[in-house]
Structure 1
Amino acid sequence: MLDGKSADKIKYVPISDTTVSRRISDIAENLELQLVSHLQTAGEFAIQLDESTDISNCAVLLVYVRYVHEDDFLEDMLCCLTLPTHSSGFEIYRVLNDCIVGKYKLNWANCKGITTDGAANMTGKKSGVVTKISEAAGNDVTWRHCFIHREALAAKGIPDNLRGVLNDVVKVINTIKGSALNSRLFELLCLEMGADHSHLLYHTEVRWLSRGRILTRVYELRMEIHIFLLEKKSSMASLFCNDEWILKLSYLSDIFSKLNELNLKLQGKETDVFRHCEEVEAFKKSIMLWQARLAVDQPLYYMFPTLLQHIEEHNNTSEETMKKLKCDIQLHLHSLSSSFEQYFPEENLKNIRDNHWVKDPFAFEKPEAVIGLNLTPDEENELLHLTSDTSLRIRMRSSPLSSFWISVSKEFPHLSKKSILLLIPFTTTYLCEAGFSTLTKLKSKERNRLNPTADMRVALSSCKPDWNKITKDKQAHQSH
């Protein structure tokens, strides 16, 4: 009807917001049907869940699921639910049960793992979500306290002398960044002095990497901050002339950077409990090594590169100051070691080590090596046959751990089932945390009345929309 030029112009005419909303709902419905179908076929599944508050002060519960699909685990957003009133354990379980059992027709007995943070509404002994799900499942559901939350809790214990330095840093940052004028002037000063950075970073308790990054940035800009505070005639300028305070700052920058490294290793998708336990155990051993290095008469500080560099650049540091610093570091490392032992107790790590055959079954080829693994006779027999198969050894080297055990389910059903039950529970609530970041982008201040359920499904689903089914089932031109 139109010439080519006019047709090209029509392509750029945007569709109405009602049409966009309807299409998002159609896609979300298709993705939801696919997911429920997969779960009903898979049977066993594990969930991770977390609760937060959005821009309009609505309590939102986000749930992710992991299940066996085809030849590997698949992780997907199960549901995004709004809590109408309280966010108590009873209310969370009621809303969750209405969705999973009432709407999706799934059975709690198939839930083999729950991963949450350590909040009372999740872990309460009488009315916590974990307790309620365990009662409904009628079996021993594996509950795991998120490794990332545990690491963040373990890092909170700081001796008063070092905590004072952290508090001072936060005050300095708030003084500069709390004023738009101060922030602009500080940026100009950094540019004039040729600094690597021109901005400071805010400290936020709920952000996992906050402390390490803000401390490192303040140390790197310590000269610029000192000059700026002097120009403002601030009493905090004296801090940056205090060598003892700067030494503590450099140490805190190093230790929290190492905690950040551990935190980053615990993040990500498709993780397994063996790798996370190994990372935590390695960090615990590192703390013990650092303590041993400091316990000698001539302590070594090579494990704290920023601190070591500062000491080498300032040879005039008094012996008394170094002794005080050594005591403060030893006290902090002892506190850190105790906290990690509290949140990652040895018996929990030992339980994972006892099942190390799941990660490397071919390390138990000899019959006498199988005896101490606490396996049933059928499982022992299957393990001996599995380790004798050279082709399976090659397959395991080239396949993800979960994929390998799923692939041998027909040949070795007992070993496969036991391995899957150990691997399927999540180790962190990373996916939920990442999902809430998506929620903040979707439900902004300008869109605070949005019901984010469909949008979250489309944004986060691992399934691919069945476009043929969507276009076939839906009317081409609906009236508004």
Structure 2
Amino acid sequence: MAEAPAKKAITYHFHPEWEEEFIFTLVKDKCVCMLCHQTQALSKRGNLERHHNTNHPKFKDIFPPKSAIRAKRVLELKSGLKVQQSLFVKPVNRLKAATEASFRVSHLLAKHKKPFTDGELMKEAMAIVANTVFNDFKNKDDIKAALSSVPLGPATVTRRVESLSEDVDQQVLRDLARCEYFSVQLDESLDVTDTAQLIDSTTKEDFLTVLHLKDRTRGEDIFKEFKKYVQDNKVPIIKLVAITTDGAPAMHGVRLGFVALCRNDSAFPEFMTYHCVIHQQALVGKVLDFSHVMSLVVKLINSIRAKALQHHLFKALMDELDASYGDLILHADVRWLSRGKVLQRFVDLLPNIKTFLSTRNEVHEELSNGAWLLDLGFMTDITAKLNALNTELQGKNRHLSHMISAVNAFKAKLCVWTTHLNSRKLTHFPNLEKMTQAIQDKDAFHPDQYCAHLDKVAADIMEDITTFVSNPFQSTDVMKREKFPLLTACALKLSAYFGSTYLCEMAFSQMKIIKSKYRSCLTDVHLTDCLRLAVCSYEPNYKELADTILSQPSH
């Protein structure tokens, strides 16, 4: 037996003339009586008429149908209903705004690497501003109440940071799913509690995640954590085209290095891997064997600055001599640009340093030795040039082509500098020129020995990693994806390559500030959340986040 066809649902529409006839109006698809505020689920004429005649039978006696006074009364009732509804809507909107404001302030705190407890300080500051700036405003009480309703307690800020981090993380993962190719850069460092932290960044030059290595930091440990992250977050690893690392054994071990393990895993595609260009450039400086210069410079600086009294006396001497610099700066091996700055400051203050050492009856023959002073001048100049290259290679949006161009330009400059040195032109070596003028033995200057050092730098500087197709889509007439699919795919892959691990290094610098000795108990999860918000360029969806939670005023 065939089933009876289902009845088609009937749709009832509200007619505008019913407002004056039955004193009903439509609010959010529901018929609301403007006299008693009761609602009718269906917009049926019979329902509205029955309700009006049953509950308000005397209304037609006071306000006759189709009369001017009835029309005026309906407008008054309708306006009053809107005002009454706004009284309920406004507090809800204010709570939503306060919740959104708490998200924005929490993001600001995380961006500036501030602790969660600073939310209360921000709120106290807002209260001071409100009491001072808005004191003469007529609505000052409303302003103060609105600011005081923003929830910024430590627990609230913590939850907000967690939600913001999750939102940004999902945006990054969505972009990874949509992109055609991506590459990663990885680097490992220790936090203030000596916990190894491995940072990943993606081809959009943004932060991906922190992997917390609790035990050992071998290649298999790094691979295990990375593979787990890829699987848990459904990262499309098949789109990976390149991995950039710092060249450590744990990364590039032949059999058990991270890269080797990735190549041997069937889930990974074929990909390029190479040593960070900036790390390579920093290693080039080590081929210059001027330890006899640097050791004495560091020794003298430490002897002056290590003891408070000596340091105080030296600064007093600088003030007395009206030196251009008021003090020496310390050298740190872990900072790439430190050596050049220390040497330049030392050279500029050398006469003052000699004067200060003489007051202590301290003699160092090297400071009067022409050959040593010439080496000092040359090392100061070449280190400054290497620092300039290093700085040019750093920063965001430094594509591989730009880095290779910078390195090739430096190679060309080395040839020019060598030619000038051979002809005793010291225009590009101001400190070396200064020392040749200061020493008494003019025969101590042998340009050929410094040219040999420049040749060594040119020979050991990194080789080009790859040739690069520069902006192949600039002209659509010349290059079309449909016409040259293989070439465009190759260009897209190359454009995804990272030339350095600069983003990782930058993130480590931020991590040192976030997880300082004053916040050493920060959990790994919260460290990841804070670091992501501090370095990521993605903007969280504040309004959507505010709509997902129940807004409550601050207590």
What TM-score comes out, normalization by structure 1 length?
A: 0.79
* C-alpha contact 2:151 2:553 (8 A) present in aligned 1: no
Structure 1 gaps of 5+ residues are 67-73, 362-385, 394-404
Cα distance change of structure 1 residues 192 and 10 upon mapping to structure 2, 3 Å threshold: farther
Q: Structure 1 residues 41-50 or 260-269, which shifts more?
A: 41-50
Q: Distance in 2 between matches of 1:252 and 1:9?
A: 64
Q: Distance in 1 between matches of 2:552 and 2:268?
A: 49
**Quick one: which of 49, 53, 59 aligns to 2:186?**
49
**Quick one: which of 224, 228, 233 aligns to 2:361?**
233
1:285 deviates by 2.7
2:264 aligns to what SS in structure 1? Answer: helix
Q: Distance in 2 between matches of 1:134 and 1:473?
A: 42
**Quick one: which of 407, 419, 422 aligns to 2:491?**
419
Q: Distance in 2 between matches of 1:432 and 1:457?
A: 12
Look up the match of 1:335: 456
* C-alpha contact 1:254 1:304 (8 A) present in aligned 2: yes
1:465 aligns to what SS in structure 2? Answer: coil
Q: Deviations over 1:213-239 (max 9, x none)?
A: 111010011112111222222233x44
Q: State the number of aligned residues.
A: 414
Look up the match of 1:222: 350
Look up the match of 1:467: 542
* C-alpha contact 2:237 2:269 (8 A) present in aligned 1: no
Look up the match of 2:73: none
Q: Deviations over 1:90-141 (max 9, x none)?
A: 101111111122x211132211110011100011111211122233354320
Cα distance change of structure 1 residues 140 and 244 upon mapping to structure 2, 3 Å threshold: same
1:302 deviates by 2.3
What TM-score comes out, normalization by structure 2 length?
A: 0.69
- Quick one: which amino acid aligns to residue 279 of structure 1? A
- Report matched runs for 1:66-145 at 5 Å: 66=203, 74-101=204-231, 103-136=232-265, 137-145=267-275
Q: Distance in 2 between matches of 1:18 and 1:474?
A: 15
| CA RMSD between the two structures | 2.8
Higher helix share goes to which structure?
1
Q: Distance in 1 between matches of 2:554 and 2:272?
A: 50
* C-alpha contact 2:181 2:492 (8 A) present in aligned 1: no
2:444 maps to 1:359: no
Look up the match of 1:377: none
- Quick one: which amino acid aligns to residue 273 of structure 1? L
Cα distance change of structure 1 residues 10 and 241 upon mapping to structure 2, 3 Å threshold: farther
Cα distance change of structure 1 residues 392 and 262 upon mapping to structure 2, 3 Å threshold: farther
**Quick one: which of 433, 440, 458 aligns to 1:317?**
440
Identity %: 30
- Report matched runs for 1:164-179 at 5 Å: 164-179=292-307
2:235 maps to 1:62: no
Q: Deviations over 1:149-172 (max 9, x none)?
A: 00011110223xx32011100111
1:235 aligns to what SS in structure 2? Answer: coil
Q: Structure 1 residues 3-12 or 84-93, which shifts more?
A: 3-12
Look up the match of 2:99: none
| Structure of higher CA gyration radius | 2
Q: Distance in 1 between matches of 2:281 and 2:495?
A: 21
Look up the match of 1:187: 315
* C-alpha contact 2:240 2:269 (8 A) present in aligned 1: no
1:155 aligns to what SS in structure 2? Answer: helix
Cα distance change of structure 1 residues 29 and 14 upon mapping to structure 2, 3 Å threshold: closer
Q: Distance in 1 between matches of 2:521 and 2:553?
A: 24
- Quick one: which amino acid aligns to residue 230 of structure 1? S
Look up the match of 1:39: 176
Q: Distance in 1 between matches of 2:147 and 2:457?
A: 61
2:445 aligns to what SS in structure 1? Answer: helix
Look up the match of 2:283: 153
Structure 2 gaps of 5+ residues are 1-90, 92-130, 132-138
Look up the match of 2:118: none
Q: Structure 1 residues 10-19 or 276-285, which shifts more?
A: 10-19
* C-alpha contact 1:155 1:339 (8 A) present in aligned 2: no
**Quick one: which of 422, 427, 436 aligns to 2:508?**
436
1:410 deviates by 5.7
Look up the match of 1:456: 531
* C-alpha contact 2:176 2:236 (8 A) present in aligned 1: no
Cα distance change of structure 1 residues 321 and 18 upon mapping to structure 2, 3 Å threshold: same
Q: Structure 1 residues 176-185 or 111-120, which shifts more?
A: 176-185
1:156 aligns to what SS in structure 2? Answer: helix
Q: Distance in 2 between matches of 1:98 and 1:253?
A: 47
- Quick one: which amino acid aligns to residue 414 of structure 2? I
2:205 aligns to what SS in structure 1? Answer: strand
- Quick one: which amino acid aligns to residue 231 of structure 1? T
Q: Distance in 2 between matches of 1:146 and 1:46?
A: 13
**Quick one: which of 518, 525, 541 aligns to 1:446?**
518
2:157 maps to 1:30: no
Q: Deviations over 1:346-398 (max 9, x none)?
A: xx45x41xx5xx2276xxxxxxxxxxxxxxxxxxxxxxxx89x6x768xxxxx
Q: Deviations over 1:8-27 (max 9, x none)?
A: 38847983222211111111
1:425 aligns to what SS in structure 2? Answer: coil
Q: Deviations over 1:384-438 (max 9, x none)?
A: xx89x6x768xxxxxxxxxxx8xx5466533321101112110000011011111
* C-alpha contact 2:370 2:441 (8 A) present in aligned 1: no
**Quick one: which of 356, 377, 381 aligns to 1:250?**
377
Q: Distance in 2 between matches of 1:42 and 1:360?
A: 18
Cα distance change of structure 1 residues 231 and 30 upon mapping to structure 2, 3 Å threshold: same
* C-alpha contact 2:205 2:503 (8 A) present in aligned 1: no
Look up the match of 1:373: none
2:287 aligns to what SS in structure 1? Answer: coil
Cα distance change of structure 1 residues 77 and 410 upon mapping to structure 2, 3 Å threshold: farther
* C-alpha contact 2:417 2:428 (8 A) present in aligned 1: yes
Q: Distance in 1 between matches of 2:499 and 2:395?
A: 10
1:244 deviates by 3.0
Cα distance change of structure 1 residues 431 and 289 upon mapping to structure 2, 3 Å threshold: same
- Quick one: which amino acid aligns to residue 273 of structure 2? W
* C-alpha contact 1:247 1:307 (8 A) present in aligned 2: yes
- Quick one: which amino acid aligns to residue 186 of structure 1? F
* C-alpha contact 1:108 1:133 (8 A) present in aligned 2: no
Q: Distance in 1 between matches of 2:363 and 2:161?
A: 56
Look up the match of 1:372: none
- Quick one: which amino acid aligns to residue 308 of structure 1? E
